[in-house]
């Protein structure tokens, strides 16, 4: 019986996190339509929430935070090698990789 409750609870949490993620993405689109100093803080808050919820959703799906970090780093490295336009134009992927590497130390 307890196992059934845990599975049901986990499913409800996953569904709630999916809704939270969609809601945050909607909020991001809405806040990007308004170009004010205050909206910048809203964008920062919403982006942080998207990342936060994504990590929690991954955890509920059985993906450890470290594995998600490793996959992100792997994708960044691949895009650098592939000379992604963001890297070519701004060098931001290298900066992001440095951020992840500092976090690991």
Number of residues that this document lists for the chain? 105
pLDDT beneath 50: ranges in the chain: none
**Sequence ranges of the domains in the chain:** 1-63, 65-105
Residue 103 makes CB contacts below 8 A (sequence gap 6+) with 69
Q: In 3D, which of 14, 43, 89 has the Cα closest to residue 80?
A: 89
- Specify whether the CB–CB gap between 83 and 92 falls below 8 A: no
**pTM attached to this predicted model:** 0.86
């Amino acid at each position: 019986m307890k196992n059934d409750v845990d599975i049901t609870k986990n499913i409800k949490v996953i569904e709630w996190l999916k809704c939270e993620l969609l809601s945050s993405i909607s909020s991001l689109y809405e806040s990007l339509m308004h170009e004010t100093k205050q909206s910048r803080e809203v964008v920062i808050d919403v982006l942080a929430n998207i990342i936060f919820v994504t990590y929690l959703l991954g955890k509920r799906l059985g993906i450890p935070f470290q594995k998600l970090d490793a996959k992100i780093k792997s994708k960044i490295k691949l895009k650098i090698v592939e000379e992604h336009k963001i890297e070519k134009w701004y060098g931001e992927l290298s900066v992001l990789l440095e951020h992840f590497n500092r976090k690991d130390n």
